[in-house]
Amino acid sequence: MVRKLLAGTTTVLLLAGCGGVGSGGDTGAAATLTTMGFGLGDEIATTRADLAGKAIAPATVKIGGSAFDAQQFLAAVASHTPPDLVYLDRQLLGTYAARGTLEPLTDCIAKQHIDVGQYRPAALKETTLDGKVYGLPEFYDNRVLLVNDAAVEAGGLTSQDLAPADRAKLAAAAQRLTTRTNGTLSRIGFDPKIPEFLPLWAKANGVQMLSDDGRTAHLDDPRLAGALTYAKSLIDAQGGWGAVKAFRDSFDFFGEKNPFKQGQLAATLMDDWYLNVLANYSPDVRVTAAPFTDTAGTPIDWVTGSAWVIPAGSTHKDQACAWIKTMTEAPTWVAAAKARAEKRRAAGKAFTGVYTGNRVADEEIFGRLVQLKDRPAFDAAVRTVLKAQDSAFTMPASPAGSEFKTAWQNAVNRVLSGEQQPADALRQAQQEAQRALDAAVARR
Amino acid sequence: MKRRTREAWAAYAFLSPWMIGFVIFMAIPMVASLVLSFTDYDALRSPDAVGWANYQRLLEDPAVRRSLVNTLVYTVMSVPATMAVSLALAALLTRAGRRSAGFFRTVFYLPEITPKVAVGVLFLILFNGQAGLVNAVLGLVGIDGPQWSTDGPWVKPGLVLMHLWSVGSTVVIYLAALRGVPRELYEAAELDGASAWQRFRRITVPMISGALFFTLIVQTIAALQSFDEAYTAFYGSAASATYSNDAALFYLIYLFQQAFEFLHLGYASAMAWLLFVVILAITLVQVRLSRRFVYYEGGDR
C-alpha cells in the first residue's frame, strides 16, 4: 500500500534512482548526444536526422524513440543528467522555459548564424517567452474544414452549404447530413472538434484565450461562452455528446476504412495532416478543404506543432545547436520531402506535402515537389491549407501552459457531458487557469 | 546464548534485503515526501519552504474534494462487488471436480496478470456506447445500454465492472478459506434441517470471516489508490486526456497530474499524506469493527 502511495509522490528517490539519459562531459570529438521525445518513425524523420548527424560529425546523436514524457524529463533534469536535445509540443515549452530548465537560444542563434526569419512568425511566437527564443519550430499543423463530397452529395447538399461564415446554415447542414440507422448514428454531419479545437472557435468569435505574454487568461469572455454554446448545440443536434463521441471512437481514422471512405463523416474541422492520411489510404476519396472562418467570412487557422529545445544542463550545447539548426533548415526539409515524394510515387500514390514551420522550405516543397495536377481534389485542398496559413494564429507560450490547457478542456468536457452551462464552466476554468498562471509567474 | 545470538544475526541477514529495500524504497521517500509537502517544489529548481500553505490549499481546492468523493464512491461500489463476485465464483469452484477446479482457477487468475494499462484501453473498446461489446450484449436482451465513457453517472459503474475482470486473487483466497471449513459442520447442520442459506449464513460466513476481513482491507486500500485503469482510459494519452471526464478523476490521478503535469510536487506530496491519513482512518475503523464480526478459530472468542 505504502509503496503504491509513494509511487505518485516521492520524487527524491525516483529522481536519484531512475537517473537520466545524459552522457558524460563534453569530451570533444567523439561526443554522443542524447535526445528525448523524438523517434525515427518515417522518412521525414530519418532523412533529416541523417543530415543533421552529418553536420556535427564525428559527434553522434542517440535517438531515443518515444514521445516526450514529462516524468522522465523531470527525473533526468533533477538528477543532473538531462538529455542534450528535447523534442516537445510547443505548447509545453513555456512551462519549462519559465523554470530555467531550457537554454535560451540567443547564443546559439548568433554563433551558428541561424536565420530566424526563415521560421514562420506564428510558430516562433510559441517558442518565445519574455522576448527570448527557446526552441526551433518543426511542423506547422493547420486546422481546416474538410468536406467529404460523396457524403455531402448523398445528403442532397454541396460543400457550399457548409460554408462556416453562416453559422445558422452550417448548423442546418450539420443536422441534415447526420444520418441514423436503427436508432444509432451512422453518419456525423459536421464535427466541430471540441474540446480540442476550442481556441479556433474562440478566435472566430474574437477571443484570444491567453494574452500575448502568456500570463492572463480570457476564458470568461462572454463571446467564448457564445462560441461554446454554438458548438455544443451542433453536437446536441446530431444526437448528443455521448452518441457522437461513441460513434467517433469506433472510427478507423488511420486506415483503409477511414470515416471519409466509409461515409461516416460528412464534414469535420481537422488537422491538415489528415489529407496525407487520406491521400495514402483512400486516394480516390473526393475531399474538399476550406478554411474555417469567422461569421464575416475571414479565414482563421489555429496552428500548433513541436519544437527542438536544448536543456540548460546539456553538456554538448554547441553540437546540439548545430544539430537542431540543420534539422529545421530549408534544405533538410526539402531533402526529407523529396524522400517522401519518391516513396509515394513508387507506391503510385499522391504526395500532398509536408507543412513545416520553415517558410523557405514550404515554398520549395509546395512550389516544386508537390505535383497534384492529376488529382485536382487534393490539389485544391492543399492550396486551401497553404492559403489558410496566411491567417494563422498560435497560442502564446505560457509558464503554466499545461494547467491552462487542462482548465479549458475540462470546462468543455463538463459542458459536453451536460454537467455545467458554458458560462459557468468557463468561469470556473478562468479561475483555475488564472490561479495557475499567477502562481507560475510569482514563482519566477 | 551464543547460539541464539548467531541465529539472530542469521535472521537479520536473511531479512536484510527486505530491510534495505524498505529503508531505501519506502522509509526515505516517505520522509522526503513529508518534507517536500511543506515546500513549493517543481523538481527543476530547489524547493522553497512554504509552511502549511500546501495543506491549506488542500482544504480549498474543489478538485481535491471532487476527486476524494469520486474515489470513495468508487471504493464503496467496487469493494463489495469484488467480494460478492469472488465469493460466488469461489463457492462455484468448490462444487467443481478437483481437475476442472484447477483449470477454472487458472482461468479466473489469468486477467490478474493482464497489464492494467491494457485493461484501461480495453475498457474504452468494450464499453463504447455504440460499438462496444457490453452494449451489444445488453442490446440482445432488449436493454439500451448507457454511454459508459461519456455519461458522468455511468463512468464509475463501468470502471467497477471492468475491475471485476481481475477478481482472480480474491477468488483464490476465498477458495482456500472455503476448503478449510470442516465438512462435519455442514453435515450436522443439514441433519438439523438447516437450509442452504442458513448453512451459508451461520457456518460459511463466520468460518471464512478471517479471509473476508483480509480481502476487505486489501481491496479497500487498493480501491482508494485506484489509478491505472481510469488513468489509461481517460487521462493517459494526449488524445484521451482531451476527453477526460470529471467522474473519473480519482484522487491519485489528480495527484499525478499535480506532480508530473503541472510540476507541483510539493502540493502533490501534501495530497499523498492526506490520502495516507484517510486510508489509515478507514483501516482503523475496519479493524475496530472486525472485532465484532471476525471469528478466529482457536481464538478466545
Query: Can you give the pLDDT at residue B238?
Result: 64
Q: Chain B closest CA to A338's CA: distance in Å?
A: 30
Q: How many other C-beta atoms lie within 10 A of the C-beta of residue A172? A: 15
Greater confidence, A373 or B300? A373
Residues of A in contact with B41 (CB under 8 A): 11
| Residue B153 and residue B68 in contact, taking contact as beta carbons nearer than 8 Å | no
Query: Can you give the pLDDT at residue A10?
Result: 40
Q: Chain A closest CA to B1's CA: distance in Å?
A: 37
Query: Can you give the pLDDT at residue B12?
Result: 93
Give Cβ neighbours of residue B217 (< 8 Å, ≥ 6 apart): B283, B286, B287
Nearest residue of chain B to residue A96 (CA atoms): B44
Contact A99 B128 (CB under 8 A): no
Contact B29 A10 (CB under 8 A): yes
Contact A9 B271 (CB under 8 A): yes
User: Nearest-CA neighbor of B89 among B216, B215, B175?
Assistant: B175
On whether any CB of chain A is under 8 Å from the CB of B151, the answer is yes
Residues 64-93 (B) with a CB less than 8 A from some CB of A: none
Q: Is the pLDDT of residue B187 over 70?
A: yes
B15-35 average pLDDT score: 95
A181 phi and psi, to 5 degrees? Answer: -125, 125
Q: Is the pLDDT of residue B236 over 80?
A: no
Contact B150 A5 (CB under 8 A): no
Nearest Cβ partner for A9 among B130, B243, B272: B272
Residues of A in contact with B45 (CB under 8 A): 99-100
A184 phi and psi, to 5 degrees? Answer: -115, 155
Query: Can you give the pLDDT at residue A21?
Result: 44
pLDDT by residue (tens digit) across B202-211?
Answer: 999 999 999 9
**Residue whose C-alpha cell reads 471492468 in the numeric block:** B162
**Residue whose C-alpha cell reads 475540462 in the numeric block:** A410
Residues 241-270 (B) with a CB less than 8 A from some CB of A: 241-246, 252, 255-257, 259-263, 265, 268-269
Q: Chain A closest CA to B234's CA: distance in Å?
A: 12
A–B interface: beta-carbon pairs under 8 A: 153
Residues of A in contact with B259 (CB under 8 A): 8-9, 11
Q: Which of A3, A10, A69, A238 to mutate to test the interface with B (most CBs of B within 10 A)?
A: A10
Contact A10 B30 (CB under 8 A): yes
Q: Is the pLDDT of residue B291 over 90?
A: no
Burial B213-239 (b: 16+ CB within 10 A, else e): bbbbbebbbbbbbbbbbbbbbbbbeee
Contact B30 A12 (CB under 8 A): no
Query: Can you give the pLDDT at residue A415?
Result: 95
Query: Can you give the pLDDT at residue A444?
Result: 66
Angular region, A217: left φ>0, alpha ψ -120 to 50, beta rest: beta
Residues of A in contact with B270 (CB under 8 A): none
Residue A218's pLDDT band (boundaries 50, 70, 90)? Answer: very high
User: Nearest-CA neighbor of A91 among A242, A196, A180?
Assistant: A196
Residues of A in contact with B116 (CB under 8 A): none
Contact A11 B128 (CB under 8 A): no
A44-61 average pLDDT score: 93
Contact A13 B265 (CB under 8 A): no
Query: Can you give the pLDDT at residue B237?
Result: 66
In this structure, the strands spanning A32-36 and A85-89 are parallel
Q: How many other C-beta atoms lie within 10 A of the C-beta of residue B88? A: 13
Q: Is the pLDDT of residue A22 over 50?
A: no
Nearest Cβ partner for B33 among A9, A195, A418: A9
Q: Chain B closest CA to A163's CA: distance in Å?
A: 27
Q: Chain A closest CA to B44's CA: distance in Å?
A: 6
Q: Is the pLDDT of residue B269 over 90?
A: yes
Residue B101's pLDDT band (boundaries 50, 70, 90)? Answer: confident
Residue B301's pLDDT band (boundaries 50, 70, 90)? Answer: very low
Alpha-carbon span B75 to B276, nearest angstrom: 15
Q: Chain B closest CA to A413's CA: distance in Å?
A: 6
Contact B279 A1 (CB under 8 A): yes
Q: Chain A closest CA to B123's CA: distance in Å?
A: 12
Bridge partners of A243, per DSSP, are none
Residues 131-150 (B) with a CB less than 8 A from some CB of A: 131-132, 146-147, 149-150
Alpha-carbon span A388 to A395, nearest angstrom: 17
Q: Chain B closest CA to A124's CA: distance in Å?
A: 23
H helices present in chain B, as ranges: 2-22, 28-36, 53-60, 62-95, 98-109, 116-126, 133-140, 152-163, 168-179, 183-191, 196-199, 205-207, 209-224, 228-234, 238-242, 251-256, 265-293
Question: If you write DSSP's letter for every residue of A234-284 in order, what string do you get?
Answer: HHHHTT-HHHHHHHHHT--TTSTT-TTTTT-EEEEEEETTHHHHHHHH-TT
Contact A13 B42 (CB under 8 A): no
The vertex-A239 CA angle with A233 and A242, nearest 5°, equals: 95
Residue B44's pLDDT band (boundaries 50, 70, 90)? Answer: confident
Q: Is the pLDDT of residue A88 over 80?
A: yes
Number of residues assigned to chain A: 444
Q: Chain A closest CA to B209's CA: distance in Å?
A: 22
Nearest Cβ partner for B147 among A74, A246, A250: A246
Q: What percent of chain A has a predicted confidence (pLDDT) above 90?
A: 77
